[in-house]
């Protein structure tokens, strides 16, 4: 009997729970589906993420060919393609790693039903996160809605497992052997699926991911001091690799727990944020449509479309915001500190609905991940679980002075300000002849308007506790 392992956001051949289970069961075929439902939503036909995925698949294919086999690369709706392939291969079971996004859950349900009708089993595994679903619970058996107690319980549960981080072995000698001349290495796949190549700054694939992880391992102990400065490479830069599963969360956790330094502890905490938001998305799928704290949906955002467009283009007259947005537009990358700054600026100073910013990030970010992005936007707009209080509003000027004090990041991405000194660069509007966009709104004025806009929630909050 053969088995079929369907790769989705786990584009790797090592430490992969579904693949490991499939290989232990029988001769395994591997498949990936370019899902037309997802592709049809991508406006930009030069979307770098498609090149990233294709490069990851090419790396997998090259390894498979050395083992005398090949990847089945399909194009269409998974609920049609996967049962068709499984049936053709006479597979007993289809193996996948669990995906917590609402669309993916719905899709997997349909695939499972179709397979059931064909008498083929569908097995799902936990792989993308360390703890999932109800594995981290409050003492009364509920789900956490606030991060710090969740993190403490996560760490306690990790301690209780004996801090064992499994490594799911994938002996590739058990792969089914076959030749496929129609493989991704030979075909002009991008063109066939209607996209154009656009190599991202970070190349796809496990080799690149492991190289980056190795480099970061040497820098881990400095993470706590370095992580907030966008001009430095103080963070791992691994988010895109974990998003597409070129490396496993266990690969990252092994590094995070390899040192007792403050840097290692803070980095581990970031990985726990990732688990937290995946759990929230899984348990509260309404967050994809509206606020986690539902009363925040009553806010009437006052922002103007033209201000939103200026934000998108990096032309707000606020140098730190403009630099961050221009880098995003050009590379698909944005530092975490700046994600918080621009998200807070859009919602609380430009008074634009957080869902518009969330959607723009979804279109542009190389590491776009529904759970983390939604969590980040709802945190910034104060509508989410364990969000910052609504009356805390990031001041883009002081953020700029604190985290880009020399103006190095601004100078790189807003070259028209490169001639300014480190004092003026954060506020060119205070100069006599600034030669730069005037701020599209006044920070002070709109800060007050924001507090008034959120007042509806403050009134509600007195009646109903918010978390």
Ligand X SMILES: Cc1cc2nc3c(=O)[nH]c(=O)nc-3n(C[C@H](O)[C@H](O)[C@H](O)COP(=O)(O)OP(=O)(O)OC[C@H]3O[C@@H](n4cnc5c(N)ncnc54)[C@H](O)[C@@H]3O)c2cc1C
Interaction site with ligand X (CB under 6 A): 227, 235-239, 242-243, 270-271, 273-274, 277, 336, 339-340, 343, 361, 365, 367-369, 372-373, 375-377, 380
Q: DSSP for 164-206, please give it.
A: --------GGGBPP---TT-TTTS-HHHHTT------SS--SH
Do 198 and 55 form a contact (C-beta atoms < 8 A)? no
- Element counts in the chain: helices (H) and strands (E): 21, 5
Which residue shows structure tokens 């690799």? 241
Closer CB to ligand X, 52 or 361, in the complex = 361
CB 281 within 8 A of CB 370: yes
The CA distances from residue 312 to 84, 262, 305, 345, 363, in Å, are 42, 36, 11, 12, 11
How far apart CA 383 and CA 375 sit, in angstroms, is 9
HEC profile of 210-274: HHHHHHHHHHHHHHHHHCCCCCCCCCCCCHHHHHCCCCCHHHHHHHHCCCCCHHHHHHHHHHHHH
To the nearest whole angstrom, how small is the minimum distance from the Cβ of residue 375 to ligand X? Answer: 6
Token readout for 384 is: 């989410």
CB of 342 to ligand X, least distance (A): 8
- Beta carbon of residue 344, minimum distance to ligand X (angstroms, whole number): 9
Q: Residue 65 CB, nearest distance to ligand X (Å)? A: 30
Question: How far apart are CB 89 and ligand X at their closest, in Å?
Answer: 34
Residue closer to ligand X (CB basis): 78 or 384: 384
Q: In terms of CB distance, is 22 or 372 closer to ligand X?
A: 372
Contact 51, 198 (CB under 8 A): yes
What are phi and psi for residue 67, nearest 5 degrees? -95, 10
Smallest gap, in angstroms, from Cβ of residue 69 to ligand X? Answer: 31
Q: How far is the CB of 325 from ligand X (least distance, A)?
A: 12
CA dihedral 429, 426, 202, 248 (to 10 degrees): -120
Min CB(392)–ligand X separation in Å: 14
Complex with ligand X: residue 96 or 372, whichever CB lies closer: 372
- Provide, rounded to whole angstroms, the least separation between the CB of residue 231 and ligand X: 14
In terms of C-beta density within 10 A (0-12 exposed, 13-18 middle, 19 or more buried), how is residue 31 classed? buried
In this structure, what are the phi and psi dihedrals at residue 19, rounded to the nearest 5 degrees?
A: -65, -40
- Which residue is at the shortest CB distance from ligand X? 376
Q: 423: which DSSP letter?
A: T
Cβ at position 337, least distance to ligand X in Å: 8
Minimum distance, C-beta of residue 373 to ligand X, in the bound complex (Å): 3
Output 21 or 352, the one with its CB closest to ligand X.
352
**Lookup: tokens for 221:** 């102990």
Of the pair 16, 236, the CB lying nearest ligand X is at 236
Return the number of the residue (83 or 375) whose C-beta is nearest ligand X: 375
Structure-token match 């690969």, residue found:
251
Tokens of 402: 């604190």
- In whole angstroms, the minimum distance from the beta carbon of 364 to ligand X comes to 10
Nearer to ligand X, 87 or 329 (CB): 329
Separation CA 166–CA 95 (nearest Å): 19
CA dist 231 → 276, 327, 403, 411, 437 (Å): 28, 12, 9, 10, 23
CA neighbor of 223 nearest in space, from 242, 210, 211, 237: 237
Q: Which is nearer to ligand X, 270 or 295 (CB)?
A: 270
CB nearer to ligand X: give 70 or 373. Answer: 373
Closer to ligand X by Cβ: residue 81 or 251: 251
| Closer Cβ to ligand X, 228 or 460, answer by number | 228
């Amino acid at each position: 009997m053969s088995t079929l392992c369907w790769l989705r956001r786990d584009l790797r051949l090592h430490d992969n729970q579904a693949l490991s289970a499939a290989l232990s069961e029988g001769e395994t075929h591997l498949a990936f589906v370019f899902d037309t439902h997802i592709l049809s939503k991508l406006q930009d036909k030069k979307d770098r993420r498609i090149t990233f995925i294709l490069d990851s698949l090419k790396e997998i294919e090259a390894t498979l060919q050395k083992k005398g086999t090949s990847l089945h690369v399909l194009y269409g709706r998974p609920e049609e393609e996967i049962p068709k392939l499984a049936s053709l291969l006479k597979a007993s079971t289809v193996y996948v790693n669990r995906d917590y996004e609402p669309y993916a859950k719905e899709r997997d349900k349909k695939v499972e039903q179709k397979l059931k009708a064909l008498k083929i089993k569908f097995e799902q595994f936990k792989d993308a996160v360390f703890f999932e679903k109800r594995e981290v619970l409050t003492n009364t058996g509920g789900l956490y809605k606030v991060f710090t107690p969740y993190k403490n319980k996560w760490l306690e549960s990790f301690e209780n497992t004996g801090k064992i981080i499994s490594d799911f072995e994938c002996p590739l000698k058990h792969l089914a052997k076959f030749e496929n001349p129609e493989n991704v290495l030979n075909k002009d796949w991008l063109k066939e699926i209607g996209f154009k190549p656009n190599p991202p700054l970070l190349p796809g694939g496990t080799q690149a991911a492991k190289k980056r992880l190795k480099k970061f391992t040497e820098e881990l102990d400095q993470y706590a001091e370095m992580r907030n400065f966008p001009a430095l490479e103080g963070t791992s830069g691994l988010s895109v690799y974990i998003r597409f599963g070129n490396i496993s969360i266990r690969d990252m956790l092994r590094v995070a727990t390899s040192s007792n330094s403050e840097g290692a502890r803070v980095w581990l905490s970031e990985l726990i944020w990732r688990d937290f938001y995946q759990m929230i998305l899984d348990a509260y799928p309404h967050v994809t449509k509206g606020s986690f704290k539902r009363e925040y949906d009553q806010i009437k955002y006052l922002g103007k479309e033209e201000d939103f467009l200026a934000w998108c283009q990096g032309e707000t007259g606020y140098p730190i915001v403009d630099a961050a947005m221009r880098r995003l537009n050009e590379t698909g990358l944005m530092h975490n500190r700046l994600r918080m700054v621009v998200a807070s600026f859009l919602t609380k100073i430009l008074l634009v609905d957080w869902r518009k910013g969330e959607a723009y990030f979804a279109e542009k970010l190389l590491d776009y991940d529904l759970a983390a992005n939604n969590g980040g936007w709802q945190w910034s707009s104060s509508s989410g679980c364990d969000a910052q209080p609504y009356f805390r509003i990031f001041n883009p000027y002081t953020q700029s002075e604190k985290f880009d004090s020399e103006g190095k990041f601004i100078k790189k991405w807003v070259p028209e300000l490169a001639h300014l000194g480190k004092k003026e660069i954060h506020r060119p509007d205070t100069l006599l002849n600034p030669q730069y966009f005037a701020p599209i709104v006044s920070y002070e004025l709109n800060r007050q308007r924001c507090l008034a806009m959120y007042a509806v929630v403050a009134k509600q909050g007195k009646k109903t506790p918010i978390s």
